Amino acid sequence: MLDLLEKTVMTAIGAAAITQKKAEELVVEMKEKYTLSEDEGRRIVERLKGIAEENREKIREMAEVEVKKIVERLGLVSREEYDLLLSRVQELESRLNN
């Protein structure tokens, strides 16, 4: 189940990266078609990279929220909760053995 969630998140992030690549290709095409200067093309690419990075961050945040909802709905414990319970069990076992 967690593998599926991880794959979903990675797919969303990958889609954002592909979009950035396509945007860069579009800029190259625009540069040739509309005779943009090197500087204008560079500024457009940088702006598109910024937009892609913002989108990637938004996708990551949305995926994180959705994963937390699913984990709660399935009744799974977080790594932090697991580690806490593990240390409590180890402490209790230590008390019993002494």
What is the secondary structure of 13-45 as a DSSP string?
HHHHHHHHHHHHHHHHHHHHHTT--HHHHHHHH
Domain extent, residue 18, equals 2-97
| Helix (H) or strand (E) run with residue 83 in it | helix 79-97
Total number of domains in the chain: 1
- In the structure, what pLDDT confidence band is assigned to residue 88 with cuts at 50, 70 and 90? very high
Residue 61 to residue 4: CA distance in whole angstroms: 17
Cα 21 to the center of its chain, rounded Å: 17
* Model pLDDT, residue 11: 63
Q: What is the pLDDT of residues 6-41, one digit of tens each?
A: 566 566 666 666 566 676 677 677 777 777 677 877
* Model pLDDT, residue 93: 96
Spell out a b/e string for 50-69, using b for 16 or more CB atoms within 10 Å of the CB, else e. Answer: eebeebbeebeeebeeeeee
